[in-house]
Structure 1
Amino acid sequence: MNRHQARKAIMTAASQLFYKQGYSNTGINQIIDEAKIAKATLYKHFQSKEDLLIAYLEETGVTTMEGLNKASQKGKTPLDKILAIFDHLLELVGRTDFCGCNFLNIVYEMPDGEERIRLQIKKQKDDVRELFCSILGSSEEKEELANEIYTLFEGALIAHKIHKEIWPLVSAKNSIRKLI
């Protein structure tokens, strides 16, 4: 296995385990076993489990934003674009392998003081908020509307995680129709 393949195997194993089990419940030895690599190989690529988590959050952030941007492009008007993002969320939560928002799952686990991890999660969440801002425009009024929509987006994800039902997303979409 070459260096690129080893890194990819590590990232694949860690991503699946972090998403399904959580960061705290995933051990380095489990990642090594799943990736079928030696411990030294893992540490050639990542100095610590935290470094591996940061890489996971970075890669997942890129993938998430690609999905949200692609979904928004299905709409023509700002309202249609935003509703298409929520339709994308409805598709995601309907999947049998959906375990919640990758970033919210991790942030729930982190104790205070894990600033590097919190900042990485905040960056991704700021990217989502910025997507809503870019769809709506740059006026102060539109920025406040983007904040409200972002809050509905995050709230719907949290409520879905709690209730395991789609009504929070449907309610958020209905609220957006009233706001725009």
Structure 2
Amino acid sequence: MTDNGVVSGRGPAGERVLVAASRLFYERGITATGIDTITAAAGVAKMSLYNNFSSKEDLVLAYIQARHEEWLELYRLRAESARTPVEQVLAVFDAYIDHARFEYERGFRGCGLLNAAAELPVGAPGRAEVRRHKEQVEAILADQLAPLARASEVPTLAEHLSFLLEGSMIRAGLEGGVGRLEHARALASRLLGTP
């Protein structure tokens, strides 16, 4: 993992490309960010990019996977300190809040994965990867809810919390801050029967 939270099995030049692309894709968008801009920001030759990524689509996919791993690590850290089943569920919300609190150069713009998916055509591998991330978040919620609800209620409750989480993330991105995410966490806590 780099100091920017990006995970990569690539060499140093490839990692610099991925770190630069990750920052630029989040700040400016995928479509608006060209290969020349990425290589200039990474301080590498264009050939270094293509030695590590077969195409811009491959780089976008690596970006999405890196953001997913970055979030998973934030969640793991939060889950490790959770002492109760309710805190385990709320750790998912806390990880989203932690992600929103990163020092983004141009401010918080919401979920980088949803932003990326919005730019990609239906059927693109990157969209499928974003969907897998969102499904994994919902599965984590379901796993953590298992001790708190009847088995027949867990899928619906996990979906409900997932919608609460994702809706609050969209609003937080529009508003440029974590307030909506914090409010969603409080709503989830009340829904789970804690003050």
Partner of 2:111: 101
Partner of 1:159: 171
Distance 1:21 1:87, change over 3 A: same
SS of residue matched to 1:73: helix
Pairing 1:63–2:73 present = no
Q: C-alpha distance in 1, partners of 2:189/2:162?
A: 14
Partner of 1:124: 133
State the 1:22 CA deviation.
Answer: 1.1
Q: CA RMSD in A?
A: 2.0
SS of residue matched to 2:81: coil
- Unpaired segments of 5 or more residues in structure 2? 1-9
Q: Which moved more, 1:164-173 or 1:34-43?
A: 164-173
Pairing 1:33–2:40 present = yes
Q: Is the 8 A contact 2:109 2:176 kept in 1?
A: no
- Paired residue for 2:145, among 108, 111, 136? 136
Q: Which amino acid aligns with 2:83?
A: K
Q: Which amino acid aligns with 1:144?
A: T
Partner of 2:5: none
State the 1:12 CA deviation.
Answer: 1.1
State the 1:47 CA deviation.
Answer: 1.5
Pairing 1:53–2:60 present = yes
Cα-to-partner distance string for 1:108-159 (whole Å, 9 max, x where unaligned):
2224x34311101111111111111111128231122111111111111001
Cα-to-partner distance string for 1:29-57 (whole Å, 9 max, x where unaligned):
11111122222221121121010000111
Q: C-alpha distance in 2, partners of 1:118/1:90?
A: 23
- Unpaired segments of 5 or more residues in structure 1? none
Q: Is the 8 A contact 2:88 2:144 kept in 1?
A: yes
Q: C-alpha distance in 2, partners of 1:131/1:12?
A: 27
Q: Which moved more, 1:74-83 or 1:125-134?
A: 74-83
Residues paired across the two proteins, number: 177
Partner of 1:86: 93
Q: Is the 8 A contact 1:137 1:143 kept in 2?
A: no
* TM-score, reference length from structure 1: 0.87
State the 1:165 CA deviation.
Answer: 4.4
Q: C-alpha distance in 2, partners of 1:4/1:161?
A: 33
Q: Judging by fraction of residues, say which structure has more helix.
A: 1
Q: Which moved more, 1:15-24 or 1:82-91?
A: 82-91
